[in-house]
Amino acid sequence: MDLRQIRYFVAACEAGSLSAAAVRLNCTAPGVSQQMSALEGRLGTSLLERTPRGVTPTPAGRRFYERCLAVLKAVSEAEIEIEDLKTGLCGAVAAGFAPGVANAILPQPLARFTREFPRVDLEISSGSADMLAAATSNGALDFFVGQFAKAQMGLSAEPIGRHPVALISGVRRGFMPMKPLRLDRVPLKLVVPSAANSLRPQIEEAVRSGGMAVERTILMDNLSGGLEFVGQTDWSWILPYWLCLKELGNPRVTVNPIVDPTLCVDLGLVYPAQRPLSRPAKLLYDYFRQELQRTEGEWRRILAGALSDT
């Protein structure tokens, strides 16, 4: 057994077919098939169940897959350590961020990182959780920060935290800025996020249980377009605190803390299960976390002041 066979097997499990694994590995499907047959022959058991739709790991294959991930992760960690010893902090980082945090949190840590580490090349992407997960799974991204709705083979997810939200409304709605609101007492025309957003099921449950009064909804995930729409109307949008901070000085909208129901946004760090973060990638993520914590502290100070005035 060699590392090539292990990599081929892991790719087949994660891609779901030998042809898709071959594309990921930049080789031929017959070559992958031959290596899988040789691996199964060496181990004396079937690792993959082959169907017309692709392949899935057998019970033995799933257990072997977990072991293979540990091997590949250990090899990757050793390569990273040796590279750091040889060259110092350099290389490249490809990272993805959900649109809201990319807009409101990322600029400051990104400026700090590029200033302190001029020998590290950066590629930053933004998009939906599904798009960022796919890019991380196929190796295009080293990691992404976003709302990770469901587990996916080949990806590791670490929770970052649960973060507060607030209500942003067009000034036509008539809310007093920063006045805490109970959403069961103020019927809303509400912009609702897609199902991949961790807020969506919380909003739906609040509506079902009577904790939120909603007259009408519109489904929207486009951040800039949605904020422009809200600013021109009497509609509202429940958004994470980091976006609310940026809108506090916008004369076309009001920001209101939500007293009830209790809603939050769950953020997670997602990266390939077989490849740990490189030192530059970890530093970029650490800088992001520091700014996230700083801005949340700022929001809580503003919120404490608003609550004390009521």
Domain 3-84 part of CATH 3.40.50.2020: no
Q: What is the pLDDT of residues 235-281, one digit of tens each?
A: 999 999 999 999 998 999 999 999 999 999 989 999 998 888 988 99
| pLDDT category of residue 206 using cuts at 50, 70 and 90 | very high
- Global pTM reads 0.75
The length of the chain in residues reads 310
Which CATH number is 87-160+266-305 given? 3.40.190.10
- Rounded to whole angstroms, the Cα distance separating 129 from 194 reads 11
Which CATH number is 162-265 given? 3.40.190.290
Q: Where are the domains of the chain?
A: 3-84, 87-160+266-305, 162-265
Please provide the average confidence, as pLDDT, over all residues in the chain.
89
The answer on pLDDT for 86 being more than 60 is no
| pLDDT category of residue 149 using cuts at 50, 70 and 90 | low
3-84 and 162-265: identical CATH topology: no
